[in-house]
Chain A
């Protein structure tokens, strides 16, 4: 058991576990804990590892190092919040509380005002204050560009606020989306082509032209075109745009539990398809694309006889 732990020494998840445990201990003994307490609690922990974790916590400013008669003492910097909040009045504490409750979704000034029953100017003053102490931060929401929401300083904003992978600084990265759209289609198309050229029976041909969302996801991840990590749902969103482009079809099949890429025993299959018709006759004429179609009358200001679109098209 012990050596398993040792082997996992550099595992960050493990480090986090230890971190949490230490924090819990600190909470249990608000007056502070000694190194011995930690050793007793986690006997299998190596000294170096312990030191590493504690150092980290200290550098993050979550732990305080104190010295008393019995030696070194670690104490949670929780009191820290209080200490930072020192000198602040009840109103400030109230606002802080409200923001804390809002979690990673954040809260809007207006709502804060209602909840706290403070005048807007007062709320703004407090917010400025808290911001300068780096207790809270303002995040621009993608839902409305002018809307700022507040949340605690070390909280990771929710997807609905940042917009997820498709946003950088609340700007929708539409080029990125289009590039992914094209790449996904290329992948599916080449897959369909290989299937067609295989000269297998029609059923096999069709089935091998399908790709699961997981396969597409893997392909895109390996391409390395994305700076951010995309999830499989992200890729499915992109694949859906291809469906609306009329270039791809989707089928859902039942999959055995545990198959790669299956969700709730279902698997989504995508494949590139050919268009049913060529551009229709109407749009091959200038009138089919004409921006002034409704204003065009024979004998009028805009007329077929003198139409420049027609002239251009005829001379093409």
Chain B
């Protein structure tokens, strides 16, 4: 884990869980696996706070525990997961995806789960039903049944899964300590995945009847804490106690990956081609393992049958589209055989590689101009070139080309390789070759992304802090207005209160809101870059292993 990742993790933890959790979380990230006593000592935090922080982290999957490395009986050790913490950045995207796939209900289910880490099905259903009802018109409400059906769909499509039972998790790891030293470390970093349990995607029978209840406004604060809720629920059982659910991030990521590929096809080729690729990806969703470098082969016949009904293209046209896709240099789709009218796969790894390359190119293009980007692409394509060759191929005058190459070199976007003709490495008898290493460049830009997001968050916190007084004032006034309205005050009275915020102040609030929104959406956009680069790096690691 790098310094940039650590800083970003810290900021994310502070934003979501407060400063104490931030302190413990970053401490754990920096130190690696540690037992409770060491954490308390080294972080200088009271033990009960440490315990609570660990509990919060664990609930969100940001921290795992395992039996100590020193053998059975040694104290349990805790380890924070950087990747999971960085995942917090992606919460808005998970929620938004759930909304596009499964409407408001899906959105709320995922949102609640993300906020709380894990919950039982019955409590989610109730909570979501209540919230939906609250947003409906007076006198209407939603049935639990409907929420249950959306929930089941989310589970069916593997977007939600059961948390792995804890009692089984420990023995699975405790086999490791017999191997001393290094060998034990990877064992303890790989906790049992949820997928390894057979019931992972089975929805339990729950007896849930009723409808969502409308909250009365007075109850708001308390209900949000969820404490009264629990107290109330304790009275009745639904038959799913002890079965907790969590968001299956992996599955969401596969979905994001597919969407990225589909939209790239749409922009490079056309809508119909992207629809064909979407169909292919959908068909192989179940049959292809998450780490596969390409999907299961599909015959043109099968694809034709599975195309959405409203896409009325004839069979020969489909064949043409497929062969165009195969011909395209982005290599989204490959042909593996001729049976069944031709067997086709989606080249997941290739597509990611090519998209990551396009991303790197776009960074160079935007940052250093299109002619530097020309040089960069040239090097990506031709691998190794001397300066003179770069000038000739790119048709850029020697002086400018040199300038651009040196700039790119100093930013580590291109590399310079020396190949001496004689063992003395004399410069006059040495070839100097420029080259680009796509993987390491992607890794570097990934770090840039982490730093950028951290900068954006920093700036956002700063902006809010600057206007803290103003924000508090406007909140106070809003509260007063609300209570006045509730008590049926005179309109003059209301305007009087409203005018307590002056026009310039209003303007300031307005621009603050604008700034915060802009920073927020920029964070999400950078996360898309992070996602693509990360997927590419991971996928490359998998295929070369």
Contacts and interface: CB of A to CB of B under 8 A. Distances in A.
Nearest to A202: B320
A285 B526 contact: yes
A288 B363 contact: yes
A305 B462 contact: yes
Contact of A278 (B267, B270, B397, B524): B267
Interface centre among A202, A303, A307 (most CB of B within 10 A): A202
A298 interface: yes
Interface residues of A, number: 45
Interface string B381-412: 10000000000011111101000000000000
Contact of A277 (B362, B373, B381, B519): B362
B452 A288 contact: yes
B520 to A, nearest CB: 12
Interface string A298-316: 1000011101001001110
A283 interface: yes
B455 A287 contact: yes
A289 B462 contact: no
B456 A285 contact: yes
B526 A275 contact: no
Given A206-B324, A285-B526, A304 B362 contact: no
Contacts of B396: 174
Nearest to A240: B393
A225 B459 CA distance: 51
Given A201-B317, A277-B355, A298 B324 contact: no
Interface string A262-281: 00000000000111111111
B522 A285 contact: yes
A283 B363 contact: yes
Given A202-B317, A249-B329, A304-B462, A279 B366 contact: yes
Nearest to A303: B458
A203 B326 CA distance: 12
Main secondary structure of the interface of A (DSSP, over half): helix
Interface string A232-263: 00000110110111100100000000000000
A284 interface: yes
B317 A289 contact: no
B354 A244 contact: no
Nearest to A237: B395
Contact of A276 (B264, B445, B448, B527): B264
Given A280-B359, A288-B366, A244 B452 contact: no
Nearest to A242: B374
A108 interface: no
A219 interface: no
A111 to B, nearest CB: 17
A304 B459 contact: yes
Contacts of B354: 276
Contacts of A243: 381
Nearest to A299: B458
Contacts of B367: 283, 288-289
Interface of B: 264, 267-270, 272, 317, 320-321, 323-324, 329-330, 354-355, 358-359, 361-363, 365-367, 370, 373-375, 377-378, 381, 393-398, 400, 445, 448-449, 451-452, 455-456, 458-459, 462, 511, 514-515, 518-519, 522, 524-529, 532
12 contacts: A174-B396, A201-B317, A202-B320, A202-B324, A246-B373, A277-B359, A278-B362, A280-B528, A282-B449, A283-B367, A289-B367, A293-B448
Q: What 8 pairs between A and B have smallest CB-CB spacing?
A: A281-B525, A283-B366, A305-B462, A287-B452, A172-B397, A304-B455, A304-B458, A203-B320
Interface of A: 166, 172, 174, 177, 181, 201-203, 206, 237-238, 240-241, 243-246, 249, 273-285, 287-289, 293, 296, 298, 303-305, 307, 310, 313-315
Given A281-B527, A282-B529, A285-B452, 13 more contacts: A166-B395, A172-B398, A177-B395, A244-B378, A244-B381, A244-B394, A245-B374, A245-B377, A276-B355, A281-B526, A282-B363, A287-B452, A293-B448
